Amino acid sequence: MAKSKMRKIQSESDKPIRLALYIRVSTDRQAEEGYSIEVQKERLIAYSKTMDGQVTYELYIDDGFSGATLERPAMQRLILDVQNKVLTHICVYKLDRLSRSQKDTLHLIEDVFLPNDVAFISIQESFNTATAFGRAVVGILSVFAQLERENIYERTRSGMQKRVEAGFWPGGGGVPFGYDYDLERGILIPNADAETVRQVYDLYLKGHSLQNIANMLGLKYEKLASQILLRKTNIGIIDYNGVEYRGLHEPIVPVEVYEKAMALHAQRSEKKLVASSGHLLTGLVYCGVCGAKMRYQKWGNAGFKLVCYSQQISKPYLVKDPDCDNETVWAEDIERAVIADLMEMTADRINGGGEDRPLSLTETLQKKKLLLEQKLRRLYDLYSEAGNSILLGSINELTAEIKKLDEKLREEESRGLWTKNAEAARKTLLNIRETWPYMDTREQRSLICSVIDKITVTHNAVRIDYKY
């Protein structure tokens, strides 16, 4: 019969106790409420004197650090000492001094302290993790610590919301370029950079690109110029959680200047307007058989043809139907057809085909959206009967197009930007016969992209959909 081995369990009083006294205060208010460093230190040292055995202690103090994260100097030193077996016990005045995050509290106790045989003690809650009961209680109490942190966040957020509604700057984030924050008054004040902000708008409206503007004004990145241009703070608006509020601060630029810049930006930002392209219709031509885009392809020395992406293997993600049987067409023929249609524009046709009252752009967009929604419903019906990847791709495309129309509608309703673009396009079209021969390819392409939404080629037949 095998002999069992008996091992004497060393009691806590037999071991020298190397105790870490962890102290944290994040704000002056906490100090006033009884959590000051001196109060915590006094009570923790007093507790250490009640422990049995040979006790030595070391203080770990984080002064002015939030309990929402573990990125605190003393906390990081504490963790390192635990992992290096320097400590046997850790003691805090109250659980939330360790952390206000449930996740971080449990991580420290279960993944750092216990695996390294370090007991955790909280004197306010009267437990320690050397016992099973203490380990259970710490899980419960850390939930309440997390709850308090979330309550603090909600109260702070609610306070910021009220400030913004009253027109004050919410704080808690970066101050916009061109402004300083007046802490006493709680509002933004234009500073010396305000003149640079005005120059950004002036140069942009004169036709300069954002990269050129950044270079001319010594801005580090093109993105900074873009952020300055788009920021509504410059006209006295505070955008908070997606809602606009009238701020108490002084605008840097007039609303009229901002809206002109936004109208120009909307026109330039059309994703199909690829100024770098050497071809007139790049990005505008679609296959009428499968719905895929069509691309320019060099055809020997004879010129370029427009080829459906479904018939190409270079970009498989653009393939809609690998069996698409649409013909390739000479790009020059399609370009001629588009130019001829533009040249045939008359005042009646541009203004709505001679109707008594031409549709407003909002009505035009709504009408187009309705047609797309009807088409989408038909596709859903077909997909429910016989689902396939081609139908699903068409559904996703239509959904994205409807979403884009919704964005245009919102912009039109709020600022009338698209109406301004439409008016500019109509004026250009009325004089197109006289101006076209004097435009270079880039200018011609810019005009086409500003007025044409889509060109569909189906077995040599061409359909042109205009934006306005």
Give the domain CATH number at 258: 3.90.1750.20
Are 186 and 327 contained in the same domain? no
Are 64 and 147 contained in the same domain? yes
Within-domain flag for 278? no
Within-domain flag for 159? no
Within-domain flag for 4? no
Mean pLDDT value of segment 267-275: 52
The residues annotated as belonging to the active site are: 26
- Tokens matching residue 228: 């300055």
pLDDT digits (tens, 9 = 90+) for 54-108: 899 999 999 888 888 899 999 999 999 999 999 999 999 998 898 887 778 878 9
Q: Which long-range contacts (CB under 8 A, 24 or more apart) does 49-53 make?
A: 51/17, 51/19, 51/89, 52/12, 52/13, 53/12, 53/13, 53/14, 53/15, 53/16, 53/17
pLDDT at 5 (0 to 100)? 39
Within-domain flag for 353? yes
For the chain, how far is it from start to end, CA to CA, in angstroms? Answer: 97
Are 296 and 442 contained in the same domain? yes
Are 457 and 328 contained in the same domain? yes
Asked if 455 contacts 281 with a C-beta cutoff of 8 angstroms, the reply is yes
Give the residues across from 294 on adjacent strands: 308
Q: Please identify, among 136, 151, 166, the residue that sits at the C-terminal boundary of a domain.
A: 151
Are 250 and 289 contained in the same domain? no
pLDDT digits (tens, 9 = 90+) for 303-341: 899 999 998 877 777 888 889 999 999 999 999 898 888
Are 240 and 355 contained in the same domain? no
CATH number at residue 36: 3.40.50.1390
- How much is the mean pLDDT over the chain? 79
Within-domain flag for 110? yes
Are 383 and 429 contained in the same domain? yes
Mean pLDDT value of segment 408-415: 63
Q: Residue 353: which pLDDT band, with cuts at 50, 70 and 90? A: very low
Are 26 and 116 contained in the same domain? yes
Within-domain flag for 34? yes
- Tokens matching residue 227: 């952020």
Mean pLDDT value of segment 37-61: 91
Are 260 and 295 contained in the same domain? no
Within-domain flag for 166? no
Domain that holds residue 43: 14-151
pLDDT digits (tens, 9 = 90+) for 358-399: 455 566 667 777 887 777 777 666 666 655 666 666 777 778
Within-domain flag for 272? no
How many distinct structural domains can be found in the chain? 3
Q: Is 24 helix (H, G, I), strand (E, B) or coil?
A: strand
Are 305 and 445 contained in the same domain? yes
CA distances from 13 to 17, 114, 149, 401, 405 (A): 8, 19, 37, 74, 75
Are 376 and 343 contained in the same domain? yes
Helix axes 255-268, 417-430, angle to 10 degrees: 60
